Amino acid sequence: MKTFFYFIAIAFVAVSCKQNTNKEVTETAEEINTAESLAYQSFGDKITDKEVMSKEEMMAKYENLKPGDTVAVKFVTKVNEVCQSKGCWMKLDMGEQEAMVKFKDYGFFMPKDIDGETVIVEGKAFVEEMSVDDQRHYAEDAGKSKEEVAAISEPKRTLSFISNGVLLEEKL
């Protein structure tokens, strides 16, 4: 009789351990699915991937801005270039043009190897006239040749952006 109770107790423990294992596997699968839907690295302020404009919608906003105007926005596009000195600025693909992005209060930096990657940026968009000196400085940071830097000879209207937060799409 004692043996019978031991057998029942061992069977009960074995069954309850097996159920916990299945539960753990299910929970792990749910965590993986959740992680796949949130596949971003975050830089700066915490932002979400909700209510994001396309680069075409953003370009329409830029076209209506005059120097001195600003607009708070969040949009998605590809990275064309990143500062190779520190990652302290990036240029984003806006179709025919690029947007020069700097980071609020110089508070964060981006990885230097993200050319071609997709990002969501949130912050303030504006247009400005960039001086020759500033253009040359950014060209040097980007690793351009001395000839390319010297060829910059006049101010240009630039699409500018001060970002408070960036989401960088992760590759799984």
Query: In this predicted structure, what is the pLDDT of residue 143?
Result: 87
To the nearest whole percent, how much of the chain has pLDDT over 90?
A: 64
The answer on 141 and 61 residing in a single domain is: yes
**Whole domain around residue 98: which residue ranges?**
41-169
Q: Which residue has the higher pLDDT, 84 or 7?
A: 84
The closest of 141, 131, 147, 66 to 110, measured between CA atoms, is: 141
At 164, is the pLDDT very low, low, confident or very high (cuts 50, 70, 90)?
A: very high
To the nearest whole percent, how much of the chain has pLDDT over 70?
A: 77
Domain CATH for 106: 2.40.50
The answer on 82 and 154 residing in a single domain is: yes
Count: domains in the chain: 2
* Tens digit of each residue's pLDDT (9 = 90 or more) over 58-111: 999 999 998 889 999 999 999 999 999 999 999 999 999 999 999 999 999 999
Candidate from 12-26, 113-127, 134-148, 150-164 with smallest mean pLDDT: 12-26
> Which residue's structure tokens are 């990002």?
119
Q: With the C-alpha atoms ordered 154, 160, 163, 168, is the resulting torsion angle positive or negative?
A: negative
Exposure of 58 by Cβ count < 10 A (0-12 exposed, 13-18 middle, 19+ buried)? buried
